[in-house]
Every structure is written in C-alpha cells, then in structure tokens.
C-alpha cells in the first residue's frame, strides 16, 4: 500500500484488505449465531456497502435473502447532514428479521433514516451491522448491534467508499492525509553559512535537516547498498548518477515519515533533481514550499573561504582559483534552479551578509511565510 491521489487530494494507507476480511468474518459469525433458527433478509445501503454486502454474504453460513436501499448523505469529504431515501423496498418484511448492512456509521443521520423507514413495517426485529463506526462523532441514541472496526473521525476511501465518485474499487482503505509538511530547499554559495543556518532553523521550526554531503558520508561509511554503489562511481572518477542520490534522499525522508517537514541542504542541484524531488513528494501528498537562497557577494565569500582554509585543512579552501571555480559551478546551477522555482512562485532570495543572528532573523521571516 502507498499514498494515492484522487482528484486533487491525497490519501494514505489506513486499513488493509486482510484486516477488513477479519472484521467481516467476525460480524458474519455473530449474525449467524443470532439468526440460526431463521432466514434473515440482509439489506445493504447503497452505494458504499456493495463490497461489504458481497463479502459478508460469502462469509455468512446459513440461509438468507438480500436486498438494497439507496440513500444519499455525502457531498465531497463532508457530511451534508440531511438524508433522502432514493430507492425503497418491494419485499414483504412483516414478521421477518431484517439486518441492515452499512458500510460506515458516523453521525448517525443515515441510521436514523433507516429506523424511520422500517418503523412501521411490522418486523420481527431490526438489527444494524456496520463495517466501520466513528464513535467520536456518533450523535444518536440508536442501538448498533454489530460493529466491525471503530475508527477515528477521518475521511476514508476504498472498499466501496468513494471521494467524489473515485476510489470505490480499492481493496484497502485509505485515509485523507491531513498532515502538511513544510519542505524547504536551502541554497547558498560555498561559505554562505547555509549549514550553520540550517542547524539553527531546524530546531526553531522542528524540521529535519537533510544535508546531501552528510547523507553521502553516512551511506559510504556504513557501507549501505547505496553507499557502496555511490563509492564505486566516485572511485572510478565518475559523477554519482542522480537516481542514486535521489534514492538516498528518499530513504532519509522515509525514515522520518512523521516529521513536520524537511530542510534540503545541497539538494537539488539540477533541474532534473528538482523534478525528481517534486515527483517523490507529490506521491506522498507533499510539495516543496519554497527555495530560499542566501545571496552573498563573491569577493566577500572568497576572502571568507581563504580565511577558513587557514584552519580547516581543506585544500579547496586554500586556492582562490579553485574557490572561484566552485562559485562558477554554483552560479550556473543556481540560475537554472532559480528559474525553475521562480516559475512556481517559490524562489526567495535572502541577503546573506551579516551576523549569524541577523541572517537567522531574515530567514525566519521567510520561513514564517512558508
């Protein structure tokens, strides 16, 4: 099971088909025990109950009859609060045991209408069975005889239940995703201090900081499959393919599925990587909120890196020509990404000159907007 998209909304996996089957078998066993000396008539409430009714009948061991009524109570993802009967019954139910098979009971408005429909039909008894029940929002005092699964008050689709017509054919149940992550690409030229700012901002906004460099080093050091693959390219003097880098990032995101969001540091670096990241997040019902780039004059950064090179031990911080080559590469890639995110109204350039505290304050204003 993975996140699905119906119309423009995303739904996360919630209840598996196997768990649904266990619940139905349990209901069928209880109903069979209560109706062992008679032939009940099972009435499904369309449209949502058709899969439940079919599987329930197969699980029921005993003589029975089946019919349906059709009621309307939903529009989109919210209950309309009013119910109308659209299709009635032709069977003579006098003296019979009727078991209503409902796909889901939440507020109880539909259930109340069902009781009203059968109130004057001189039944032997009326029993209610529902596959799903939302106790948090149930507002009626009407008795429910059989409950398959109690669930929280979240909108669900699948197994006969739909979102604006779609999703009924899904074997599993999916829940409307309500968690909204804040995902930010933090960019800046070498020496701009984005790593320092990322560490401060991740704590301030309770986000996960994913540094491409750190991810590479972790995978290579721990000899993961991806790390070993990446090292093979590096050892041969080749660039690590985008798909390897992206798979590493995906693994980091998946490890933190409950996070409030992510700060992506050093990724994406190319438009193809940006598109791959967008596609990956879209599959999870998420998106990049913005690309925030620290803008610092090159000459200032060259001086800063040369100063850092005196103590860092990094050879690429001690050669001005190499430093300027790094800036040239950065400017080329940033220009492409700037255009990419600007087209989506997601590019935010920030003055990166000042103290750490001053830059954090400026960045925080952008983060607050996002």
Quickly state the pLDDT bin for 316 (edges 50, 70, 90). Answer: low
Q: Calculate the dihedral angle through the C-alpha atoms of 38, 44, 50, 51, rounding to the nearest 10 degrees.
A: -50
Question: Among 46-60, 176-190, 216-230, 236-250, where is mean pLDDT lowest?
Answer: 176-190
**CATH number of the domain residue 335 falls in:** 3.40.50.300
CATH code of the domain containing 58: 3.40.50.2020
pLDDT bucket at 312, cuts 50 / 70 / 90: low
Domain hosting 70: range is 4-176
Asked if the bond preceding 234 is cis, omega within 30° of 0, the reply is no
The yes-or-no verdict on residue 132 having pLDDT over 90 is yes
Residue pair 170/157 in contact by the 8 Å Cβ criterion: yes
Query: Residue 304 catalytic?
Result: no
In a shared domain, residues 304 and 168:
no
Predicted confidence at residue 87, as pLDDT, reads: 60
One domain for residues 95 and 187: no
Q: What is the mean pLDDT of residues 98-102?
A: 94
> Over 90: is that where the pLDDT of 157 sits?
yes
Predicted confidence band of residue 88 (pLDDT cuts 50, 70, 90): low
329 or 124: which carries more pLDDT confidence? Answer: 124
Catalytic site residue 194? yes
Residue 226 shares a structural domain with residue 155:
no
For the chain, the first-to-last Cα distance in angstroms comes to 30
Looking at the structure, do residues 167 and 208 belong to the same domain, yes or no? Answer: no
Residue 239 has pLDDT above 80, yes or no: no
Least confident of 236-245, 312-321, 331-340: 312-321
For residues 11-31, average pLDDT: 94
H helices within the chain, ranges in order?
17-34, 50-59, 109-118, 194-205, 212-221, 225-235, 242-255, 271-283, 298-312, 320-342, 356-369
83 band by pLDDT with thresholds 50, 70 and 90: very low
Same domain, 120 and 214: no
Residue 169 and residue 195 share a domain? no
- Would you state the pLDDT for residue 12? 81
Task: Identify whether residues 172 and 261 lie together within a single domain.
Answer: no
Question: Is 119 an annotated catalytic residue?
Answer: no
Catalytic residue among 96, 134, 202, 326: 326
pTM of the model: 0.54
Tens of pLDDT, residues 240-291: 888 888 888 888 888 887 788 899 988 888 888 899 998 888 777 788 989 9
The token pair at 329 is 């590469």
- Cα gap 160→45, rounded to integer Å: 11
Q: Which of 59-63, 66-70, 257-261 has the lowest mean pLDDT?
A: 257-261
Catalytic residue among 314, 322, 324, 365: 314
H-helix or E-strand containing 235?
helix 225-235
Phi then psi for residue 324, to 5 deg, are -70, -30
Residues 135 and 249 in one domain: no
The predicted structure's pLDDT at residue 326: 73
Which is it for strands 208-211 and 261-265: parallel, antiparallel or unpaired?
parallel
pLDDT of residue 64: 95
Same domain as 187, residue 155: no
Point out the domain boundary residue: 145, 176, 207.
176
Q: What is the mean pLDDT of the chain?
A: 85
Q: Which two tokens stand for residue 215?
A: 């991810």
The residue annotated as part of the active site, out of 308, 322, 338, 346, is 308
Residue 170 has pLDDT above 90, yes or no: yes
- Looking at the structure, tell me whether residues 163 and 36 fall in a common domain: yes
Structure confidence at residue 77 as a pLDDT band (50, 70, 90): low
Given the residues 96, 127, 194, 284, select the one marked as catalytic: 194
Measuring CA to CA, which residue among 154, 142, 151 is closest to residue 113?
142
Give yes or no: residues 190 and 224 share one domain.
yes
Listed residues 128, 150, 176: the one ending a domain: 176
The count of structural domains within the chain is 2
| 147, 176, 205 - which closes a domain | 176
Per-residue pLDDT for 86 more than 50? no
Task: Please confirm, yes or no, whether 324 is among the known catalytic residues.
Answer: no
Q: Look at residue 105 in the predicted model and tell me its pLDDT.
A: 93
Is residue 188 domain-shared with residue 291, that is, in the same domain? yes
**Active site (annotated) includes residue 58:** no
């Amino acid at each position: 099971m993975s996140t699905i998209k119906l119309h423009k909304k995303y739904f996360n996996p919630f209840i598996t088909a196997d768990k649904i089957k266990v619940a139905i078998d349990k209901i069928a066993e209880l109903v069979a025990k209560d109706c062992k000396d008679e032939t009940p008539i099972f009435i499904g409430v369309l449209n949502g109950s058709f899969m439940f009714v079919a599987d329930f009948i197969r699980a029921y061991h005993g003589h029975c009859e089946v019919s349906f009524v059709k009621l309307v109570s939903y529009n989109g993802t919210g209950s309309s609060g009013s119910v109308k009967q659209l299709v009635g019954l032709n069977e003579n139910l006098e003296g019979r045991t009727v078991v209503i098979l409902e796909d889901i009971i939440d507020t109880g408005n539909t259930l109340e209408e069902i009781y009203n429909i059968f109130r004057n039909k001189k039944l032997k008894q009326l029993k209610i069975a529902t596959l799903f029940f939302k106790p948090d929002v149930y507002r009626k005092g009407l008795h429910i005889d059989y409950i398959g699964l109690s669930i929280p008050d979240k909108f669900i689709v699948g197994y006969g239940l739909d979102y604006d017509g779609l999703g009924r054919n899904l074997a599993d149940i999916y829940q409307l995703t309500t968690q909204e992550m804040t995902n930010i690409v933090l960019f800046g030229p070498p020496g701009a201090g984005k790593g320092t700012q990322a560490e401060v901002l991740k704590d301030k906004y309770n986000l996960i900081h994913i540094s491409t460099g750190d991810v590479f080093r972790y995978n290579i050091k721990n000899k993961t499959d991806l790390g070993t693959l990446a090292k093979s390219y590096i050892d041969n003097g080749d660039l690590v393919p985008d798909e390897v880098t992206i798979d590493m990032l995906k693994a980091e995101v998946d490890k933190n599925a409950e996070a409030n969001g992510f700060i992506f540091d050093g990724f994406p670096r190319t438009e193809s990587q940006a598109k791959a990241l967008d596609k990956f997040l879209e599959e999870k019902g998420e998106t990049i909120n913005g690309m925030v780039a620290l803008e610092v004059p090159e000459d200032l950064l060259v001086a800063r890196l040369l100063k850092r090179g005196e103590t860092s031990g990094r050879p690429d911080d001690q050669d001005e020509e190499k430093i300027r080559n790094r800036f040239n590469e950065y400017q080329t890639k940033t220009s492409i990404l700037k255009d990419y995110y600007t087209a989506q109204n997601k590019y935010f350039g920030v003055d990166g000159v000042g103290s750490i505290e001053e830059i954090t304050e400026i960045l925080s204003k952008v983060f607050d907007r996002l």
